[in-house]
Amino acid sequence: MSHLLTCLTRRWPLLLAAMLALSATACSQQQGRDMARQFSEGKPDEFFQTSVDRMATLGMRDNLQSLYLLMNKLYLRNPSQWRQSGYPDAVTAARTIRQAIENRQPLPALGERRDLAALSYSLSPEFRGDRVGAFIYAIGSMLVTAHGGRTRFYVTDSINPQFVSNAARNIEKATWLLGQRQDANGVLLLFSNEISEEGSNLSFAVEFGKIVARLDLLTQILDERYRRIGLNYAQSLLLMNFLPVQ
């Protein structure tokens, strides 16, 4: 037994090295499989996106999905609106609005109005037509415009963080106006959130809040990104480093 312990003691460094090598090999294999899986699940155009570009793309996707969810909920709360669109049902009306937003097409009911002009008009008593569709279209077109007219972003694209922040503030104002604007008879132009003795429904405010939160997060990341670019440039001047040319 003592001879065995002596042998193990002498050979322990070798045994430990072998165990570490096997562990590293297993980890490397697992990491390799994870990387292969991630590459297989990715899309080719993702190779042309930085992490910020990817985040902006996913944020835009999620914001538009939230907007379409709000549109469906507003149609349920205001069924008379889609009937004014001229389409046979709410599904067709919603699909038309979605296509107009993503393809940057004008909405006939709004004429040539887009973005802020469309938003103001959609919440005015003078508007006649599908107010739900016009309201959602206005916010959607404003979001796309604030992101430079794109819904997907790559290394060659730039996003102005101030415009993104302004879009978030505009949505906050639009959410408040949605619950305040009334017609000549004192009836809300559109029904959304509800607080009554029977209960409360604040799902509209919650979903709008998600959009605002995503926009604010993107604004902070963009600010930090451009701040770091400026700091790196200033540091290179301060340290008298030559700037890379390739």
For the chain, strand residue ranges (E) read 194-196, 199-201
Q: By the 8 A CB rule, do 137 and 125 touch?
A: no
What integer pLDDT is reported at residue 243 of this predicted model? 44
Domain-located, residue 35: no
Domain-located, residue 101: yes
- Average pLDDT of adjacent 10-residue blocks, the chain of 246 residues: 46 52 57 51 71 92 97 93 89 95 93 91 91 96 95 91 94 91 86 67 88 95 69 51 45
Alpha carbon dihedral 117, 120, 123, 125, in 10-degree steps, equals -90
- Count the domains in the chain: 1
Domain-located, residue 14: no
What range defines the domain where residue 112 resides? Answer: 50-238
Residues 173-192 have pLDDT tens digits of: 999 998 888 888 888 888 88
Residue 131: which residues within 8 A CB-CB, separation 6 or more?
78, 81, 84, 122, 123, 189, 190
What integer pLDDT is reported at residue 32 of this predicted model? 53
What integer pLDDT is reported at residue 152 of this predicted model? 94
**Backbone dihedral angles phi then psi of residue 113, each to the nearest 5 degrees:** -75, 140
What six digits make up the tokens of 3? 């001879």
Domain-located, residue 25: no
Domain-located, residue 33: no
What integer pLDDT is reported at residue 202 of this predicted model? 79
What integer pLDDT is reported at residue 193 of this predicted model? 74
Domain-located, residue 176: yes
Domain-located, residue 227: yes
What integer pLDDT is reported at residue 102 of this predicted model? 95
Task: Give CA–CA dist 66/170, Å, rounded.
Answer: 16
- According to DSSP, the residues that pair with 201 across neighbouring strands are 194
Domain-located, residue 16: no
